[in-house]
Amino acid sequence: MKTRLIVPFVLLALAACKPTPDQTEAIELAHVNSAPPAAEKEVVRLDEPVGNADVKEATDDNQTTVQDTAKKKIHEGDITFRTKNITQTRSAILASLKAVGGYLASEKESTNESDSTRNYTLEARIPAKNFDRFLNKVTQTAVLIDSKNITTTDVTTRYIDMTTRLRNKKALEARYLELLHQSTRMTDILQVENKLNEIRTEIETTQGQLNYLNKQIAYSSLQITFYTKRTDLPVIDQTGNRLLNSLKDGWSLLQHLFFGLIAVWPLLLIGVVLVALFRRWRKRRRAQRLNNPQH
């Protein structure tokens, strides 16, 4: 009998301990409210330094770039030599220059009459990978090489420095653009725009310097001077040239004499008058002697 009475009380106690739906919802809300607060939205200040993180990141990348970047070199040179036929040599050099993908930057021809020398000077731009090949082709046309100077300048450090500074400036430009979009006050907008103009000017300057350096690296420079002397010409050509030069010299002398006489015509006129007076005086004196033989 006692056992039958205890069982209902136990069931009632268990039912009282079970939470109701309202209590369950309250527990869940309390759990949500006890969650950690969300991260606060970052506030950007215009008076704080801009781009420090970007510069640091670019500096870290720079260490990798130094290891990965190939050597950057500038090849320059000049060569002077003597050749037998200056026209054929010029044609051969231009053909070789075209074959290696280069181009002619400048050309100059001159003649020195004092030592009978005809000179040609060519300024060639050659792809760096074909510089040695083109130089060998040029030397094959020489009879006698007077001088040859080749210099190679390593500009790897300079190249890396330029590319790093350019990347940092572009990152700084992007940061200023972000600030410009976030700014709401007119003073802040004007301040950011001024900074943008400054950094963009620096980017253009650095980009121009980098482009020029890339051009120097990609295309090597070679100044070629070749000449021929009169003794290098055939005998027939020498005789013909000497005859032609003699005729030119004779005609030039005749011109100088003619124009010289024209220039001194007053003196010639006075001389003619004096000669005429002298002959007249002499004729008179002779006549007087004939008329007065005693004297």
How many angstroms separate the CA atoms of 256 and 249, rounded?
A: 11
Residues 271-284, mean pLDDT to the nearest whole number: 85
Asked if pLDDT for residue 42 goes beyond 90, the answer is no
Q: What is the pLDDT, as a whole number, of residue 202?
A: 95
**Of 93, 69, 70, the residue nearest 83 (C-alpha):** 93
Q: What is the pLDDT, as a whole number, of residue 52?
A: 47
**Of 102, 78, 217, 215, the residue nearest 150 (C-alpha):** 78
Express each pLDDT in 11-33 by its tens digit: 444 444 444 444 444 333 333 33
Q: Which residue has the tokens 């030397």?
A: 139
Mean pLDDT of the chain: 77
How many angstroms separate the CA atoms of 276 and 271, rounded?
A: 9
> Are the C-beta atoms of residues 153 and 78 closer than 8 Å to each other?
no
Q: What is the pLDDT, as a whole number, of residue 151?
A: 95
Q: What is the pLDDT, as a whole number, of residue 21?
A: 43
Confidence of residue 230 (pLDDT cuts 50, 70, 90): low
Q: How far is CA 5 from CA 9, 11, 206, 275, in A?
A: 7, 11, 97, 182
Which of 51-65, 96-110, 154-168, 272-286 comes out lowest in average pLDDT? 51-65
How many angstroms separate the CA atoms of 263 and 224, rounded?
A: 48
Q: Burial code of 85-122, b = ≥16 C-beta within 10 A, e = fewer?
A: ebeebbebbeebbeeeebeeeeeeeeeeeeeebbebbb
> Are the C-beta atoms of residues 227 and 120 closer than 8 Å to each other?
yes
Q: What is the pLDDT, as a whole number, of residue 138?
A: 94
- Can you state the percent helix, strand and coil of the chain, rounding each to 5? 65, 20, 15
Express each pLDDT in 130-172 by its tens digit: 999 999 999 998 999 999 999 999 999 999 999 999 999 999 9
How many angstroms separate the CA atoms of 207 and 200, rounded?
A: 10
Q: Which residue has the higher pLDDT, 136 or 58?
A: 136
Q: Which residue has the higher pLDDT, 123 or 259?
A: 123
Q: What is the pLDDT, as a whole number, of residue 263?
A: 80
Confidence of residue 45 (pLDDT cuts 50, 70, 90): very low
> Are the C-beta atoms of residues 33 and 25 closer than 8 Å to each other?
no
- The DSSP code for 35 is S
Confidence of residue 249 (pLDDT cuts 50, 70, 90): confident
**Of 118, 59, 114, the residue nearest 87 (C-alpha):** 118
> Are the C-beta atoms of residues 67 and 125 closer than 8 Å to each other?
no
How many angstroms separate the CA atoms of 115 and 146, rounded?
A: 16
Contacts of 251 (CB under 8 A, 6+ apart): none
- Hey, what are 244's tokens? 């032609």
Tally of CB atoms within 10 A around 47: 7
Helix (H, G, I), strand (E, B) or coil at 39: coil
Q: What is the pLDDT, as a whole number, of residue 266?
A: 83
Between β-strands 219-229 and 117-127, what pairing exists: parallel, antiparallel or unpaired?
Answer: antiparallel
Express each pLDDT in 177-226 by its tens digit: 999 898 889 998 899 999 999 999 999 999 999 999 999 999 999 999 99
